[in-house]
Amino acid sequence: MRILVIGGGGREHSLCWAISASPLCESLYCAPGNAGIKNIAECVPISAEDTDNLLLFAIKKQIDFVVVGPEAALVKGIVDQLTNHGIKAFGPSAAAAMLEGSKGFMKNICKLNNIATAKYCKFTDHNLAKNYIKKHGAPIVVKADGLASGKGVTVAHSIDEALQAVDTMLTDDAFGLAGQALIIEEFLTGEELSFFALVDGQTALPLVAAQDHKAVGEGDIGPNTGGMGAYSPAPVLTKDLETEIMDSIIYPTVSGMAKEGIPFKGILYAGLILTEEGPKLLEYNVRFGDPECQVLMLRLRSDILPALIASYDGVLDKFNLRWSNNAAVTVVMAANGYPGNYKTGSEVRGLENIDSNEVIIFHAGTKTENNKLLANGGRVLNVCASGDTILEAKVKVYAAIDKIDWPQGFYRRDIGWRVIESDS
């Protein structure tokens, strides 16, 4: 089969790595890809959001199956465009991608299907939003309705902070959020958990647990990022909890979407919070998490391609995924300044000193110029390893990082700390 992967981050590198190992894969393309992906796929210089040119490329190259990594292309309707032209694609339609594209839509699906989530109100008028905040007090959470690249959520610990977030989201153009509708919701407490299921419109297959660290700083403090590292398994997800989440959140969503006439296919990634009253849904994403995907791919033992195609074909009920019992860890190396302003173009050296039997490096924002590897984004490398335990995998990752010479980058030293602390 001729496969096209859309995206150019660490998630897509790990997907390309898994797909390239499939006996079904004859040719692999990636748009736009990065300096690591180009070693295993032919990279095509088309942006992941340029859906018209991606479609033209897929037609020209007679692509059999397209795997879409990032949410923006999904929300824009790349899967509809491709399937309308007879090209199979993994991921939800634009209508189904609204589970991530609009928090208001997601909340409505929750309401219609009795799915536990934070109590909320939706606003387009900032005076009404501010009155609601003053009435309910802090802590309170302010969210942009639409996609905001991880910048659309403020967990406000004071009324002033919440009021400021309303001004930023409804009036400032800083994050391109201006004029967006807002969701204001109750603050929930409990441990957070990411939960992934592969969905084919009717059936849902839970994946093994993988957990990321969103905050930039060690000890999970500081501003949120796209993710500074991830580990799998996450012991908090017991078999009983998995069943409870499937029964009370995932299946009601899948059947609720089908009832609305917008069946969901692809990866349903639920951001959950484990409250005293049980698991509640914070948000849905409609694609693999990045960097959780990297550790999932390290642990996946089944051929990934038939599973992704089964999601498209609606035959997941005949499927089972096999996973390694090993643990996996990935640590993100990011450019100094990330998630704020950072520079690109610095040289990353020393990757050749790393034993590729022990450690896998998935590239995120990288490019090559004159045979030099250059940083080309905020998150630049994902250093990954497997081991009998998370601690063993983590030791291998940090030993490899010590060999990487990149003074313009930083990383967290404590990925997986909750699990390691509770094991010791």
Question: Measured from the CB atom, is 215 or 309 closer to ligand AMP?
Answer: 215
Question: Measured from the CB atom, is 115 or 188 closer to ligand AMP?
Answer: 188
CB of 140 to ligand AMP, least distance (A): 9
Question: Measured from the CB atom, is 89 or 147 closer to ligand AMP?
Answer: 147
Among residues 55, 60, 43, which one has the least CA distance to residue 7? 43
CB of 248 to ligand AMP, least distance (A): 17
Q: What is the DSSP letter of 377?
A: S
Question: Measured from the CB atom, is 141 or 286 closer to ligand AMP?
Answer: 141
User: What are the φ/ψ torsions at residue 44 (nearest 5 degrees)?
Assistant: -120, 125
CB of 120 to ligand AMP, least distance (A): 8
CB of 46 to ligand AMP, least distance (A): 28
User: What are the φ/ψ torsions at residue 354 (nearest 5 degrees)?
Assistant: -95, 135
- Kindly provide the residue ranges of all beta strands, DSSP E only, lying in 286-365, ordered along the sequence: 327-335, 359-363
Question: Measured from the CB atom, is 268 or 351 closer to ligand AMP?
Answer: 268
Which residue has its beta carbon closest to ligand AMP? 283
Summarize as ranges the residues that interact with ligand AMP (CB under 6 A): 118, 141, 143, 153, 155, 185, 187-188, 192, 214, 271, 282-283
State the residue for tokens 């010590």.
402
Give the angle subtended at the CA of 252 by the CAs of 246 and 255, to the nearest 5°. Answer: 120
CB of 192 to ligand AMP, least distance (A): 6
Side by side, which strands form the sheet with 153-156? 120-123, 182-186, 140-144, 153-156
Side by side, which strands form the sheet with 65-68? 42-43, 27-32, 2-7, 65-68, 88-90
Q: Are 323 and 299 within 8 A, CB to CB?
A: yes
Among residues 373, 361, 353, 352, which one has the least CA distance to residue 411? 361
Q: Are 397 and 330 within 8 A, CB to CB?
A: yes
Question: Measured from the CB atom, is 143 or 299 closer to ligand AMP?
Answer: 143
State the residue for tokens 């399937």.
83
Neighbour count for residue 72 (Cβ, 10 Å): 20
Question: Measured from the CB atom, is 87 or 282 closer to ligand AMP?
Answer: 282
Question: Measured from the CB atom, is 50 or 292 closer to ligand AMP?
Answer: 292
CB of 96 to ligand AMP, least distance (A): 18
Q: Are 311 and 266 within 8 A, CB to CB?
A: yes
Sign of CA dihedral 416, 418, 421, 424: negative
Exposed, middle or buried by CB within 10 Å (0-12, 13-18, 19+), for 186? middle
CB of 11 to ligand AMP, least distance (A): 17
CB of 3 to ligand AMP, least distance (A): 30
